[in-house]
Amino acid sequence: MTSTIRPLKKKKVRQENEKIILDAAEKVFSEAGYGGATMQLIADVAGLPKANLHYYFPTKESLYRQVVQNIFNVWLVAAEVFDSATGPAEGLGAYIDAKMEISRRHPAGSKVWASEVMHRAPIIHDYLETALVDWTNDRIKVMQGWVEAGLMDPIDPRHLLYMIWATTQHYADFNHQIETLNHAQPLSDKQWQAAKRNIKRIILKGIGVPESELSRL
Amino acid sequence: MTSTIRPLKKKKVRQENEKIILDAAEKVFSEAGYGGATMQLIADVAGLPKANLHYYFPTKESLYRQVVQNIFNVWLVAAEVFDSATGPAEGLGAYIDAKMEISRRHPAGSKVWASEVMHRAPIIHDYLETALVDWTNDRIKVMQGWVEAGLMDPIDPRHLLYMIWATTQHYADFNHQIETLNHAQPLSDKQWQAAKRNIKRIILKGIGVPESELSRL
DNA sequence: GTCTATACACTGATAGAC
DNA sequence: GTCTATCAGTGTATAGAC
C-alpha cells in the first residue's frame, strides 16, 4: 500500500519545491543577472536552506537553464495565435496583443531571456539554432504568402518580425525606464491598452493594412 | 622646466591608460554582465596588471559607472539630428538612421546600457530621472507639434519613441539572435541598408507620412 | 606610476547528522 | 527529504617594494 502512495507523495513534494525554487530563481536572475545572482539569495527568496537548492538542481547552471527553458515555452505557446489567422491585421494584431500581455505579466522571464541572448546565449545556444530558427522560418513563409496575396506591402517579413519582438519585449525589459518616464508609476490599465493600440496601428498601417481594418483595434 | 612638462606627460599617460581600461571594461561588461565581469578579466583584456585598474578606478563600481556614462553621451550626441528637422519624415528618418548606425558600430555599449536599465538602473538612476526625462519630454513636444500641424497622424509620441528605441537597439542588443537567424553570419552592408529602409518605411508610413515622401528613403 | 604578494570576504558545492 | 557545518576556490581591494 504505502509503496504505491509514498512515491506519489514524494513526487508531489519535489514538484512543489521545484516550482518554488524556479519562481525565486527567475526573480533573482532577472534582477541580478546570472553572475550577480547567488544561490544563497535564491534560497532566501524561496525560503529554503541553500543546500536544498543543490539537492533539486545539482548546479547553479542547471537551475538557470531550467528557468530559461520555461520562458522559451511561454513564447512558443503565445505565438500560436499567429497561425489561425487569415491575414496580417488579424494575425499580427493578435500576436502583438499576446506578446504585450506576456510583457505585462512576466517581465522577469523576458529579462532573463534578453540577458541570455545579449551574452551570446552561452547556455541555450542550441535552442536558438533549432527551435527558434524553425519557428521563425515558418512564420516568415506565412507573411510572404500575405505579401504575394496582396494583403500587405512588399516589405521584408524578417525585419517586421524583429520590430514586433523588439517593441513588445521593450515594455518588459525596459519597464523601469518606462516607469521612470511615467512619473515613476507603472502603466495603468488604460495606458497598457493605449500602448497596444498605438503599436498595432503604427505597424499594421505601416505594412499597408487599409484604414478600414484599423478602426476596430 | 621639468616641473611644467612632467605633469602634462603624466596626464597623458593617465588619459591613455584610462581609455584602454574603459574600452576593455565595456567589452567585458557587455559580454559577462556586471556580476559576471571580473577585474582580473578586464585587466587581462587591457593588458595591464589588475592592481593598475584599482589605481585608476578605485572600485569596480566606479569603473562601471564611467562606462555607462560614456554610453549615455553617445546616445545624446546621436539624438541631435532629431532637432534640426522640419517634419517627421526628415527628423525621425535621420534619427532612426543615426541610432541604427550606433547599434552597428557600438553594440557593446548598447548592451551595457540595456543590462543596466533591465536591472532597474541601480548605478545611473539619477541620469534616468533628470537627463533622460528632460530630453524625452522635449522631443515629445516636438512630435506633438508635428501632430497639430497635420504632418503626422494623432498617435501618442511616447509610444512611437519607445518603438524607435526598441527596434533600433534590438539590432545591437540581440545581434547574436539576429546573426543566428542569418545563417550564423553578421548582417552585410546591404542587409543593414535593407533593415534601415524597412524600419523607416514601416514606421513613417505607420504614422501617416504620405507615400510620396517615402520613395526617397 | 607600476607591479607582486597578500588580506579578507564570499562563492558554489558537498559531507554527513537527522 | 532537510539542514548544519565546512571546504576549496575565487572575488575585490590593498600594502608596500620598486
Q: Look at A33 and B115 and tell me if their CB atoms are within 8 Å.
A: yes
- Angstrom distance, A39 CA to D10 C1': 16
- Spell out the domain ranges in chain B: 1-58, 65-210
Whose C1' is closest to the CA of A58: which nucleotide? Answer: C13
Query: Is A128 an interface residue toward B (CB < 8 Å)?
Result: yes
Q: Look at A206 and B208 and tell me if their CB atoms are within 8 Å.
A: no
Query: Is A185 an interface residue toward B (CB < 8 Å)?
Result: no
B65-210 CATH = 1.10.357.10
Mean residue pLDDT across chain B: 93
Q: Which CATH superfamily is domain A67-209 in?
A: Tetracycline Repressor, domain 2 (1.10.357.10)
Q: Look at A198 and B160 and tell me if their CB atoms are within 8 Å.
A: yes
Q: How far apart are CA A134 and CA A129, in angstroms?
A: 8
Q: How far is CA B125 from CA A170, B132, B209, in A?
A: 18, 10, 36
Residue B135: closest C-alpha in chain A: A181
Q: Quick one: angle between helices B133-148 and B88-105, nearest 10?
A: 150
pLDDT above 80 (res B1): no
Torsion angle of alpha carbons A155, A159, A165, A171, nearest 10°? Answer: -90
Residue B126: closest C-alpha in chain A: A180
Q: Which DSSP state fits A210?
A: -
Assigned C-alpha cell, A49:
536552506
- Do A39 and A54 contact (CB within 8 A), yes or no? yes
pLDDT value at position A9?
Answer: 61
Query: Is B65 an interface residue toward A (CB < 8 Å)?
Result: no
Q: What's the predicted TM-score (pTM) here?
A: 0.94
Q: What SS3 class is residue A150? A: coil
- Nearest residue, CB atoms, A160 vs list B37, B202, B207: B202
Per-residue confidence band for A3, with pLDDT thresholds at 50, 70 and 90: very low
pLDDT above 50 (res B128): yes
- Do B152 and B207 contact (CB within 8 A), yes or no? yes
Helices (H) and strands (E) in chain A, counts: 12, 0
Q: How far is CA A137 from CA A11, A43, A143, B83, B181, in A?
A: 39, 40, 10, 39, 9
A178 touches strand C (CB under 7 A): no
pLDDT value at position B56?
Answer: 96
Residues of chain A in contact with residue B199, where contact means CB-CB under 8 angstroms, are 159, 163
- Angstrom distance, B5 CA to D17 C1': 27
Tell me whether the CATH fold assigned to A1-58 matches the one assigned to A67-209: no
pLDDT above 50 (res B4): no
For residues A7-34, average pLDDT: 90
Residue B207: closest C-alpha in chain A: A202
pLDDT value at position B2?
Answer: 40
Q: Look at B174 and A32 and tell me if their CB atoms are within 8 Å.
A: no
Give A159: exposed, middle or buried? Use CB within 10 Å, 0-12, 13-18, 19+: buried
For residues B11-37, average pLDDT: 94
pLDDT value at position B7?
Answer: 56
CA distance B42 to chain A (A): 15
CA distance B49 to chain A (A): 23
Q: What SS3 class is residue A191? A: helix
Q: Look at A180 and B30 and tell me if their CB atoms are within 8 Å.
A: no
A66 touches strand D (CB under 7 A): no
pLDDT value at position B8?
Answer: 60
Q: Report the residue of A130, A181, A183, A207 to disrupt the B interface, i.e. the one with the largest count of B CBs within 10 Å.
A: A181
Q: How far apart are CA A18 and CA A24, in angstroms?
A: 10
Query: Is B42 an interface residue toward A (CB < 8 Å)?
Result: no
Query: Is A165 an interface residue toward B (CB < 8 Å)?
Result: yes
Domain B1-58 belongs to what topology? Arc Repressor Mutant, subunit A (1.10.10)
Q: Convert the pLDDT of each residue in B66-123 to its tens digit.
A: 999 998 889 888 888 888 899 999 999 999 999 999 999 999 999 999 999 999 999 8
Q: In sequence order, what are the residues at sequence separation of 6 or more whose Cβ sits closer than 8 angstroms to the Cβ of residue A148?
A: none
CA distance A1 to chain B (A): 50
Of A75-84, A164-173, B93-102, B107-116, the poorest mean pLDDT is in A75-84
pLDDT value at position B9?
Answer: 61
Q: Look at B198 and A129 and tell me if their CB atoms are within 8 Å.
A: no
Whose C1' is closest to the CA of A42: which nucleotide? Answer: C12
